[in-house]
Structure 1
Amino acid sequence: MSYNKQYQPVRGEAPQGDYELIDVDPHFNRVVSYFRASDLGLWAATTAAFPVSLVAWEKLEPVAGAFKQPGKVPPGALRAASLMGFFGGFYLAYVRSSRRFLGWSENAREVKKDRYEIKKLLSQEKLPYHENESVLDDRMKDIANRNSQYAFTAMAVLPWFNLAYHPYHGVDIKKYYETRPGEEEWGFTLKPYEEIKAKYAHVIE
């Protein structure tokens, strides 16, 4: 099913942040690939903290009772704690990275990386968010976006990620046709966006 002009999806303005908006609904792969070293460190620390805390708890409050010799924490409990720490740490890192896409946290590094990636795609005559690789029609892209946008804010309740390539990212593509200081060194020659869209009209309509 395709939307006609009368029923085109409408999107509200993205929440204002203190930093530049990059993407209101980044694909899962983008969020993960934009992890900083500090995010990976937090992920690793959280993974280790859970089983370590379990061992420390046993030493402070032995299962055998007060003033008893601390016992050995069962391997199964340590594995379960490690697994919880692994996923918990990943969620924390994912939320931190997602906040930068929305401009809710300092994101100068991410802005530069995003501009490089999008400009490179445009120079290759590809749609900026890999939409040409999508197998969904425009209605399903719309639904996918509505389900995943801002989902990271409820990550602790229901883990949900954007796994669809769609055009709803809350930014004006025209900004990538501007040349900021230092970008001339990248050597990209961008094709007009309308020409690129026309090339993939069978995919995006």
Structure 2
Amino acid sequence: MQTRVRLEPWSAGDFWLLERKNEPAMTRFLGGPEPAAKLADRQRRYEALSAREPAAGRMFRIEWTPAGEDPGDGDGDGDGDGDGDGGRTESVGSVGFWEREWQGEPVYEAGWGILPEFQGYGLAAAALTELLAHVRAHGTRDSVHAFPGTDHPASNAVCRRAGFTYLGDVDFEYPPGVPHPSCDWRYRVGRPQGGLTPSG
């Protein structure tokens, strides 16, 4: 069954989630944990983004109500049949989009992260799909890009599952000033997708 999630705008009470996302296991493909001052600044930026007009972007907390099954539930789809009919709701990670310029074009960039204990349920792809629906409803730019590292097969698979098009490999700076071999994935808002096949 399809995994269902709910997106909630980022708030002051979500700093604990940002701290969890800053753990070594969550930042191994992102240059490592950030110092406390940068983390506090990130929290301020996330809150400010949620206070701006919807077309400027949003950060969201991902909420999931599991059905009580394990990821390895025997049906081979890896989603644990998380169909949203369970009892408790878990905060499992974050997803968001923001404005940027890319190759001379005004676009959106998307990013996400699922806490380790909730990985394997298809939550990242489900959250990214919900995010794209939000962009279609509120965004003003034609494209959403994502830049997972070429060494991060799971995030590249999330882009593929969410309907992004692979455009090729690029040197993308993250953290700023540090080029990292990355895949350029694009989602054309309201348009048919189509592109290359990743070589790696």
Q: TM-score range by the shorter chain?
A: under 0.3
Quick check: which one's helix share is greater?
A: 1
Q: Of the two structures, which has the highest relative contact order with CA contacts closer than 8 Å and spacing of 6 or more? A: 1
Greater radius of gyration (CA): 1
TM-score (norm 1): 0.21
TM-score where L is the length of structure 2: 0.22
Higher normalized strand content (fraction of residues): 2
